[in-house]
Chains A and B, each alone.
Chain A
């Protein structure tokens, strides 16, 4: 910061969660002097409540651009994890052995097969490998499968990682590369000009020719300030955590995964309850536990030691929003509910685009313009 309190940088990223930190880290690695503004613990902090899947299967049905983006991120992940380990010494616990999505009836198996088949067709030349695996064969892949499991879909692309270690590693790598992290930096105003953005933090102002809005649900209010829109809503998810157990589950699944430290995470609930993360609903917790035990009966013997609720950042169609402002060139928004899965893409693909000054054409379907439906008479 200089004497009059203005700090001029090459780029400002608003948001210190997984999306903001991955982009800020990517920008800094592109040689852009970057400041990351993090509101504080009053923010909704989706990145602190994440389940931690790096998940490709079932993403992007009817939206090949989303499937490609997710797949590209999964491919970028190993290098991201290796770079973060080298730069910070923090292992993020990445494992990508493929993942399982369970089915509990023949109908479900058939529907799942049809869905996966459509994803494969939509993948085109990029390819999409999957298999429907029957219960008999699943017994060799995962232990103690419940008798009601009929089978599962499997893709080799899926994996998981520790969201908290990832967040910490991205912050450490960003700062280690010279990036400036500003905690408790509530944005009070944005003064936008084409290629010139001044972000007011109350006590001082930061200024840069590039501005990235990556503040999760907060983007809904910020995007209009730079000529963009982010129609977002919170979708609550709850997670139950068991005591640590010795490694027993070699593959992540869409409802249960075992962390590197041994805890089993049980999840995948969806509730539309506004911004409430404090009230835990026993009915949902019971449903999560019941489904986990239906899948793996032995989980019933484990003690639950933690539970929490967090808010997914959902767009109207559930897909990410990436946009570049036409009115104020240099301003971008990034929103998604898959901060872990898409971390590879954000750091290795999106950040270089922003550094170069334009989003690639294959990101254009992610523009929020898709929600601007003309009113009909």
Chain B
């Protein structure tokens, strides 16, 4: 379904990095966004909404719509369209509202 645009691009972007979308390994161009990796992976959804539980995939790809929220490398609710991929990155679905880590192990505030 998804192909890269045909324009010439710097050679670095022809390098591929391996990331994991919902645990599944995937090779994507260096410099791509995590949301692009989500779309390439064919995953049916990357988040469900907190109240209604509706499934969502990346939509606007420019940081506006928040439908690409994902847990990236353990950090909840990241806008995956604004996060460039890195080797070994783990992009997990954001299921509903995030968990506030309100236990005694929470870090002290500065």
Using CB atoms and an 8 Å cutoff, list the residues of chain A in contact with chain B.
Answer: 143-144, 146, 243-246, 248-249, 261-262, 264, 293-294, 296-303
Contact = CB atoms under 8 A, between A and B. Distances in A.
Nearest to A249: B102
B106 interface: yes
Interface string B80-110: 0000000000000000111111111011111
Given A294-B109, A300-B107, A261 B100 contact: no
A10 to B, nearest CB: 39
Contacts of B103: 143-144, 298
Interface of B: 50-51, 77, 96-104, 106-110
A301 B97 contact: no
Contacts of A297: 106-109
A367 B98 CA distance: 48
B106 A261 contact: no
Contact of A261 (B51, B99, B102): B51
A261 B51 CA distance: 6
A301 B100 contact: yes
A266 to B, nearest CB: 13
Given A144-B106, A246-B98, A298-B106, 18 more contacts: A144-B101, A244-B51, A244-B97, A244-B98, A245-B98, A245-B100, A246-B96, A246-B97, A246-B99, A246-B100, A248-B99, A262-B50, A264-B100, A297-B106, A297-B108, A301-B100, A301-B101, A302-B100
A293 B97 CA distance: 20
Nearest to A296: B102
Given A245-B97, A298-B101, A302-B100, A261 B50 contact: yes
Given A244-B50, A261-B50, A303-B77, A293 B100 contact: no
Chain A interface SS verdict (over half) = loop
Nearest to B104: A144
A4 to B, nearest CB: 49
A367 B51 CA distance: 44
A264 B99 CA distance: 12
Given A293-B109, A300-B109, A248 B102 contact: yes
Contact of A143 (B97, B102, B110): B102
Among all A-B residue pairs, the 10 with the closest Cβ atoms: A143-B102, A144-B102, A298-B106, A245-B100, A293-B109, A244-B97, A244-B50, A300-B109, A262-B97, A298-B102
A237 to B, nearest CB: 23
A262 B103 CA distance: 17
Contacts of B107: 297, 300-301
A264 B97 CA distance: 12
B70 to A, nearest CB: 13
Contacts of A296: 102
A146 B103 CA distance: 11
Contacts of B108: 297
Contacts of A301: 100-101, 106-107
